[in-house]
Every structure is written in structure tokens, then in C-alpha cells.
Amino acid sequence: MLDTLSDRFLELSNIEYFTFGFNIFVYLFSSSIVSHHRDIDEDTIRSRTRLVHGLNILVFISFIASLAFHGGEFPADEISRTSLTLLASYLIFNGIEAFLLSKYGEEIEVMGVSRKVETPTSRTLELVAFSLIVMTATIGLINVWGITGLLETTGVIGFLALIVFTTKDYWLRDFLSGILVIGGNSARRGDVISIPEAGILGIILEIRGLQTRIRDLAQGHDIEIPNYSLLQYRTDYLRKSKGGPFRDFVEFNIGYGIPSETVKSYLSAVYNSASESSSSLDSLREPKITIRENDNNAVIWRLTYVLERPYQLLMVRNAVNLAAYDLQDDFGIQLSTPQLEKLVES
């Protein structure tokens, strides 16, 4: 085996030298390649680096196999070229992604950190580039494995149409939804969104070709949802808009018999106490205190306030509810809707 490998090393072609050298280069600089062009979190960098290293190992093993089994029935050369094609395609897409981000990206601030993120133009072009690279790589692999009869019979266009038709149920809906969402600029990285039907409240981290990754505000873990969900369900974008600042509210069920001025003073004190513990509340704006509904068992009061940082929505709600609980006795107000309890006891 060693003699065979030694003899084959002496007979390496230029493409084989290139494959070996290219693979070593990518392995040594993999971390820089996957992370130098954008601000991404450590978990994403590690996952992308593992993917590149996996492709490196695949290329290296197939390269050794092509040396050891050269000339036999084992398709070692085809496997080697397939591995190289996959690795090159991934790196080309990373390069295109870097170029589009530097050309069309914009600077925004997410959770106190300035980042350069995608715009609708850059993300849409990324999706188009991804589609073209996948199609090109597929045709290249067909030529590597010598299955050119399919291309000769149906033509390139017919073959691509066949691929799209047979796989459309798995990706086409989400892919087109991603283009519509990105192209319409309805969702951007850093936006806080709420999808009530799916029980999701979080920050958009990345809109990919088929899925959107969201950081859950309550638990802090990442969620991946199909892009189609952003169009299928009601999606609330919790951010400032041209219509004015972002507002949020907390509602309280307060029993009848308490003067409205007392309740207003109570809720104003609740707001002032919460604003002291949270920098996200706009202290220069007065809260809006209204009655949403005179319900059968209690009056539903709404405390509306301006929120400077929508991603702290849950933290502010918690501060408001905590202040409301602590200040009950000071104003002689009960949040437990005592009238309802009396009905249940009777």
C-alpha cells in the first residue's frame, strides 16, 4: 500500500496538487473564512467551522482513496471531485455573501451592539446566488459522475425544471416566502416580533433561505421557524415606525367601588416605580391610563407607556407587575378582583 501511494504521489496531476493544497489552506484558515465578513455569534461560527472541517476531512479521505484505488472499480476519483465541488461551492457562497453584505449592508444597533446586517437587497441577492450555486454544483456533479445522458435527453433547463418539480413540496414555499419577506422589508435582523398563534416572542437573528432564526425573549434559546410562518400567521413587529414610538401596555383587573382618581394615582405610582428600575421606559413621556372594558366582575384598566428598547418588553412588563403588586396596600387596591371571589364562595 505504501509503495502504491508513493508511486501515485510521483504521478500526481496538476488538479490533484491543487485539490490537496486547497484543502490544507481551507483547513488552516477555516475560522477566518467563515467569520471575517460579518458579526455573528460564537455558536454560528463554531457550527460553520465544523461544517468546513467536515468537508475538509471528506476531501482528504476521498483524495487518499483516489490515490490508493486509482485505476480500480472503486469510484475514488469521482468521490474526490465531488467533495472538492461541495467545498468550493460552500466557500464561493461565503465569498458572495461577504461581498453583498459589504456592498449593500447597513449598520444597526442590536441590544447595545453595533452590527452590519443584511438589507432587503443584499438578502434577496444572497438567495438568488444560493440558487444559482446549487444548480451549478448539481450540473457539475452530474458531469463528474458521468450521468450526462439525463442532460442530453432533457436539456439543462428541463433537468432543472425536473429537480424543482420533484422537490418543491420541501423547499419552494419557504424559499419564495423568504424572498417576499426580505424583498418587502417587512422583517429585518434585530426586529422584535410576536407570533401569537405559534407562541413566539423574540428577536430575529437571521433570515435564511428556508428558515428564520429567532432568539426567544423569555427563555433565551434560539428558535427556527419556516419562512412561510411569517406570512401564514399574524406577525406583530414590535418596533418604532413612522406612526410614532413603540408603545406597550399592561392591563389590571380592579374591582368596582374604587374612585377612578384613586386608580389613576395608583397606576401613575406603578409607572414611576417601574421607570426607576428600568432604563427602557421613556421617563419624559407620561403614561396613558384608560379603561379598556367594564367587565362583569371587574374593571379592566390599561396602563400604556412608551418603550425605548422593544427587546426589553418582558423585563418592563415584569417591573410594572411587580410595582403594582408592591403598591396595592398603599392605595387600598386589590388586584385579585374580590367580587369574583365572592361569587365563587357563594
Q: Where in the chain is the domain with CATH 3.30.70.100?
A: 247-345
Question: Which stretches of the chain drop beneath a pLDDT of 70?
Answer: 1-16, 35-44, 66-74, 76-77, 80, 108-117, 120-121, 148-170, 242-243, 283, 337-346
Q: Which of 245, 244, 248, 260 is nearest to 303 (CA)?
A: 248
Per-residue model confidence (pLDDT) at position 264: 94
Cβ-contact 248, 319 below 8 angstroms? no
Question: From CA 297, how far away is CA 252, in angstroms rounded?
Answer: 12
Torsion, Cα 92 97 98 99, to 10 degrees, reads 90
Domain 105-238 matching CATH 2.30.30.60: the answer reads yes
Which helix (H) or strand (E) is 4 found in, with range?
A: helix 2-10
Per-residue model confidence (pLDDT) at position 125: 79
Cβ-contact 189, 118 below 8 angstroms? yes
Question: From CA 122, how far away is CA 299, in angstroms rounded?
Answer: 50
Class of the CATH-defined domain 247-345: alpha beta
Q: Where in the chain is the domain with CATH 2.30.30.60?
A: 105-238
Question: From CA 337, how far away is CA 299, in angstroms rounded?
Answer: 9
Torsion, Cα 63 68 70 75, to 10 degrees, reads -60
| Beta bridge partner(s), residue 294 | 299
**At 34, phi and psi to the nearest 5?**
-85, -15
Write the DSSP assignment of 78-94 as a string of letters. HHHHHHHHHHHHHHHHH
Per-residue model confidence (pLDDT) at position 162: 60
Q: Which of 34, 71, 78 is nearest to 52 (CA)?
A: 34
Q: Which of 71, 83, 197 is nearest to 144 (CA)?
A: 83
Per-residue model confidence (pLDDT) at position 202: 93
Cβ-contact 273, 323 below 8 angstroms? yes
Per-residue model confidence (pLDDT) at position 112: 61
Cell of 338: 374580590
Question: From CA 23, how far away is CA 57, in angstroms rounded?
Answer: 9
pLDDT (tens digit, 9 = 90+) per residue, 226-235? 988 888 899 9
Q: What secondary structure letter does DSSP report for 311?
A: G
Per-residue model confidence (pLDDT) at position 263: 93
What's the predicted TM-score (pTM) here? Answer: 0.55
